[in-house]
Structure 1
Amino acid sequence: MNEVMEPENNNTAASDAHTVDESVSFSKVTTVASQWMLDFMFVSLCRHFKEGKLDEFNEVLSIVDAISQSPSFNGKLHEEKKLICAFIARVIHGKQLEVLFEEDNSVMPLMSAANIWSNLEHTVADGSLFEKTAELLIAQSVAVCLEKGQRTSASSALKWFKNHHQFPQKLGAKLSKIVAQGDTYHPYLMNFTFNRLLETVQSYLDAYLEKNPSDYLLKAATEMVQSSQYTEDREDVKSEDSPVPKTTNELTTNSHKPKRKLLSSKMTDLLKPESSKKLCVSVKRLPTNEMDLAAGQIPQGWR
């Protein structure tokens, strides 16, 4: 009798599940799930930035770039997060002067980061932190060029900032003198090191995530892993208590079974240049409609 009723129960359960699915708009479910995924990728990106893991950062950034193209992400908070992703992408590549983010080849990563940072002022609770970060971006844009022996580029960067951004006259005067002297290790620059820039940006990210938690999917996945680990540990204990010996034939058969790879071990080189002469990270370049950032404006789709 139980065997006859069991399929009916299964059919009922399946029918109930189908009814639940039909009662909710799948497009709305997709939107919510996609937003969770973007939040998870955002948190992952911030984590890789903090740990300085460039390869992992680039891998996640390519995913963010892909899923953020969905029309589902048109809310103010998600637009902010996309801008922050673009900002920290430029900062983490700050010392790679050959990496391009804008159509103007003379705009180096930290210069491009300064453009975006000016549009993130409303997300910074601490005004002094905003000003400090802005000054670090300017100083490091110049310092990185000097470190690489590109004095002309350092001079061009300083001139670019004078034309596009407002910054303290004292900072401008000091940097102009340092560039004129070509003094890469001037004591003044020690107040504006790249590590200090990273630390300051990290402070901003910590404060932003505290105010705007994006860890729903992260917590759910963590709980799932912890639960699975607990189950696996108990199963391991049981197997140790009552081991099942394998026959010689079984051992021989298993030793010759090829291990199936679920994913290819070969990772796509996200920093692979389009030519041997110029490195271009296409996945991180701003689309044409986002180039208004260079003029200090937030594109219509990012407002």
Structure 2
Amino acid sequence: MEAEVSEICPTDQNTDESVRFSRVSAVATGWIFDYFFVNMCRCFKERKQDEFNEMLSTFEVISENVSLKGTTIHEKTLICALLARVINGKCLDELFDKDRSVMPLMSAASVWLDLKDTVGDESFFKSITNHLLIQSVAVCLEKGQAISASCAIEWFKKHLDVPQNLGGTLLTIVQKKETYHSLFKNFSLNRLMETIQTFLDSYLKKHPSDYLLKAATKVAQSASDIESSEGAESQDEAISESSNKSVQIQKKKSCLLT
């Protein structure tokens, strides 16, 4: 395993001294950043909320590293911010904004707005925005917070472009407290996550971020193969030793019988 690691990640002795260590460190930090980014995307896809949240704090620290620069880094940071708010969308006590009245999915809409140029597709962008509004209201009603639901609608109208008919429909639903309205079923949180996943898949295809993950997989696979080989050899030796002992016992028995 050490040999594999050395091959992929050379030690200082093999590093070209003409390359400044700060540059090497920046590249390595970028790989680590991407590793966490890809893993958080995986957790989002697999709905592993706890694992996602555990990685989030580490990702936040890494993303603040001064060596990480560029548009792509900024985009990935925003994407993780979006995913964090959506995957915790039903946790109304989670604060992602200085304004305590801004709930997770409302905050997600603000982040989504910052990603508008990255998304590119105007129709898709509006679709997700509307979906975030619908689910912001749905979650509030589900929690029995009709006033918060009304506030969410007003917040969206103030900060984002909300279709008038959708806003009116949602206000009526809130007034009637129709927690299980068909609109909420058709635009569920799960469906929202699935739709966002299509954006993630497209983004990751354009911006592959799995270099370190692939390298680690290669090392892990190599180590596994070596362990399997060593295990097989140990088993063969054990069988051989057992066989020899059996032969010796048989010889002793023969001596006793003669």
User: Which TM-score applies when normalising by structure 2?
Assistant: 0.85
**Closer, same or farther in 2 for the Cα pair 1:70/1:201, shift >3 Å?**
same
2:210 counterpart of 1:215: yes
Match of 1:79 among 74, 80, 83: 74
1:22 offset after TM fit, Å?
2.7
Deviations 1:255-300 (A, max 9, x none): xxxxxxxxxxxxxxxxxxxxxxxxxxxxxxxxxxxxxxxxxxxxxx
CA distance in 2, matches of 1:127, 1:106: 28
In 2, distance between residues paired with 1:126 and 1:228?
A: 44
Picking from 8, 18, 24, the partner of 1:23 is 18
1:243 aligns with 2:238: yes
For residue 138 of structure 2, the aligned residue among 133, 139, 143 is 143
Q: Structure 2 residue aligned with 1:44, among 23, 31, 39? A: 39
CA distance in 2, matches of 1:18, 1:163: 59
* CA distance, structure 1, for counterparts of residue 25 and residue 65 of structure 2: 11
Unpaired stretches in structure 1, ≥5 consecutive residues: 1-15, 246-303
- The answer as to whether partners of 1:41 and 1:64 remain within 8 angstroms in 2 is yes
1:116 matched to which residue of 2? Answer: 111
Which letter maps to 2:136? S
Structure 2 residue aligned with 1:32: 27
Counterpart code for 2:200 = L
- Contact 1:45–1:85 (CA under 8 A) maintained in structure 2: yes
Aligned to 2:255: none
**Matching residue within 124, 132, 148 for 1:129:** 124
Q: 1:105 aligns with which of 95, 100, 109?
A: 100
The match for 2:200 is: 205
Equivalent position of 1:168 in the other structure: 163
Matched, 1:226 2:213: no
1:116/1:17 Cα in 2 relative to 1: closer, same or farther (>3 Å)?
A: closer
Count the aligned residue pairs: 231
Number of the residue aligned with 2:190: 195
Mapped contact 1:129–1:200 kept (Cα < 8 A): no
Partner of residue 88 from structure 1, selected from 80, 83, 107: 83
Displacement of 1:242 after TM fit?
0.4
Unaligned runs of 5+ in 2: 1-10, 242-258
RMSD value, Cα: 1.7
Tell me the SS of whatever aligns to 2:92: coil
- Matching residue of 1:63: 58
Moved >3 Å (runs of 4+): 16-21
Residues 124 and 130, structure 1, Cα contact 8 Å, conserved in 2: yes
The AA in structure 2 aligned to 1:67 is: I
2:250 is matched with none
Distance 2:63 2:165 in 1: 40
Offset at residue 129 of structure 1 (A): 2.2
TM-score (norm 1): 0.73
1:31-70 CA distance string (max 9 Å, x none) = 0000000000000000011111111101111111111111
Secondary structure of the equivalent of 1:64?
Answer: helix
